[in-house]
A and B are shown apart, each in its own frame.
Chain A
């Protein structure tokens, strides 16, 4: 219950402060531009609905991860820097409850981003194949990725205690996670590229979207990648719990 109060406070902070609200506005603007380009640009219009849906799903997932990393970096280091964490620690709330509340708010942020993106997904993917199953996969894997990256960056924020430094490391991790996008198709097919794809939860998610939306493959094809993402989820939660229980002012 105490974690719920922390979560409520964090969500209100996201919505009521310009810092948080700006992300939602930006998400809407970027998705609007992207959808407009997809639907009007003649070259992009050669893509079928499935491919457009796949591309916008990747983008929404990346945005969810980025926002999770930014909010996670602020979670403990930001509160230490603003001098607000000590009052929280003075109250009879366990550190793990504080972390749970903050993580709950990070997930809620992802849910808001997902809800904002739904109309765009329907517009871009309308009439194409696998729209609903694609959205279901985005909801599940996007939530797991939001947990992974938010929990990891919160843990980092608790250990480093500097928002600037945890933000820099988080952005580095974001680039690392996005590396499959930068690698050429040929490089991704080498053994190194395959290993990199397999151990990277973001790559696992986008390969799953590709398999589900474009190749129409069933769950048995996705099970391995989904299991890896679930493994990362547990690992990130363990990292957060360990980092927070060691946190001292």
Chain B
């Protein structure tokens, strides 16, 4: 699904990504971990064709991200870490606006079922400014599902949510992965997220991969323990 080769990104002399290599298989829930400033958000922005890399290759579902960004954007979607909202819109208007940008006018029922899936049914007519943080996060996920993406990028999706909110998001993501086969690329700091959701993880630091592997019961604590001990997480 994703192949990343020798990805390099520099900002004003600072190397954010230093020859990153990894791959994500179709159907994975792929955990992308690392401390603040490790290059997680930069990687997601490159993979989602928002920014360009200085060198390297990224292929998503057979499309070169740098040469065919629009084709990539049709099959992916993402929830950025600091996703803002048009607070003067209602949830329904917000989703209608983004569905129009994908050239797909969603019916009322389709929007209703999407909002129901993220637990916002009944709130579609409320202004977004009246939403709690958790509700906004759910709306952000609904927006990210609007084009039925094959690959979904989530940057710290459970940040700032209470335990119930986190559990609801976990259930929603697992449902998406199991029922619709959506591949999920998850950037997170939280052990709980990784343990419950991910089948493979990569840990990066200073723009380089420092650990990678499958998540098996009992191994995740070791990886986290070592990474924390080495000051990486």
**A92–B98 touching, CB < 8 Å:** no
Q: Which residues of A contact B143 (CB under 8 A)?
A: 87
Binds B, one of A9-17, A50-58, A63-71, A104-112: A9-17
B77 interface neighbour in A13, A85, A90, Cβ under 8 Å: A90
B residues near A91, Cβ cutoff 8 Å: 73, 98, 101-102
Q: By the criterion CB–CB under 8 Å, are B97 and A86 in contact?
A: no
Assess the A83–B52 pair: CB atoms within 8 A: no
Q: Which residue of A lies closest to B143 (CB)?
A: A87
Write out the residue numbers on chain A whose beta carbons fall within 8 Å of the beta carbon of B74: 92
Q: Are A92 and B73 in contact (CB under 8 A)?
A: yes
Counting chain B CB atoms within 10 Å of each CB, the highest count among A5, A9, A86, A249 belongs to: A86
CB-CB under 8 A from B77, the residues of chain A are 90
Contacts of A89 in B (CB 8 A): 50
Q: Which residue from chain A places its CB closest to the CB of B71 in the assembled complex?
A: A92
B73 touches A82 (CB 8 A): no
Which residues of A70-97 are within 8 A (CB) of B?
79, 82-94
Taking A5-B101, A90-B73, A93-B101 as contacts, is the C-beta distance between A83 and B82 under 8 angstroms?
yes
Across the interface, which residues of A come within 8 angstroms of B102, CB to CB?
Answer: 91-92
CB distance B88 to A83 under 8 Å?
A: no
A-facing mask of B39-71, CB < 8 A → 1, else 0? 000000100101110000000000000000010
Task: Point out the residue from A6, A82, A94, A248 that lies within 8 Å of B84, measured CB to CB.
Answer: A82
A249 lies within 8 A of B97 (CB): no
- Is B22 interfacial (CB 8 A cutoff)? no
Contacting pair B88 A13 (CB below 8 A): yes
Q: How far is the CA of A82 from the CA of B74 in the complex (A)?
A: 25
A13: B residues at CB distance < 8 A:
86, 88
Distance in angstroms from B25 CB to nearest chain A CB is: 23
Chain B residue with minimal CB distance to A84? Answer: B84
Nearest CB of chain A from residue B176's CB, rounded to whole Å: 17
Residues in chain B near residue A87, CB distance under 8 A: 80, 83-84, 98, 140, 143
Taking a contact as CB atoms closer than 8 A, the residue among B45, B84, B85, B88 that contacts A249 in the complex is B45
CB nearest neighbor in A for B87:
A82
Residues from chain B with Cβ under 8 Å of A194 in the complex: none
The size bracket of the interface on B is 20 to 34
Cα A89 to Cα B78 with chains together (Å): 10
**Nearest B residue (CB) for A88:** B101
Query: Contact partner of B50 among A6, A9, A86, A93, CB < 8 A?
Result: A86
The CA of A86 and the CA of B79, in the complex, are separated in Å by: 9
* Contact mask for chain A residues 1-32; partner B; CB cutoff 8 A; 1 contact, 0 none: 11001100100010011000000000000000
Q: Say whether A2 contacts B101, CB under 8 Å.
A: yes
Given A5-B97, A92-B101: A84 touches B86 (CB 8 Å cut-off): yes
A90 and B48 in contact (CB under 8 A), knowing A2-B101, A5-B100, A5-B101?
yes
Give every chain A residue within 8 A of B140 (Cβ-Cβ). Answer: 87
Give the residues in chain A near B80, CB-CB below 8 Å. Answer: 83, 86-87, 90
- Give complex CA distance A1, B101 in Å: 9
Distance from B148 Cβ to chain A, minimum over Cβ atoms (Å): 14
In the assembled complex, which residues on chain A have CB atoms less than 8 Å from the CB atom of B231?
A: none
For B48, B51, B84, the residue with the greatest tally of chain A CB atoms inside 10 Å of its CB is B84
User: Which A83-132 residues have a C-beta within 8 angstroms of B?
Assistant: 83-94
Q: Contacts A248-B50, A248-B51; is A86 near B86 (CB within 8 Å)?
A: no
Question: Distance in Å from the Cβ of B129 to the closest Cβ of chain A?
Answer: 10
Distance in Å: Cβ of B95 to nearest Cβ of chain A: 12
Asked whether B218 is an interface residue with its Cβ less than 8 Å from the other chain, the reply is: no
A-B interface, 9 closest residue pairs, ranked by CB to CB distance from nearest: A83-B84, A84-B84, A92-B73, A91-B101, A82-B84, A5-B100, A86-B80, A83-B82, A248-B51
Q: A16-B88, A86-B83, A249-B51 are in contact. List 9 more A-B contacts (CB 8 A).
A: A1-B103, A2-B100, A5-B97, A84-B84, A86-B50, A86-B84, A88-B101, A90-B73, A92-B70
19 pairs, A vs B, C-beta closer than 8 Å? A1-B103, A5-B97, A5-B101, A13-B88, A16-B88, A83-B80, A84-B84, A85-B84, A86-B84, A87-B83, A88-B101, A90-B50, A90-B80, A91-B73, A91-B102, A92-B73, A92-B102, A249-B45, A249-B50
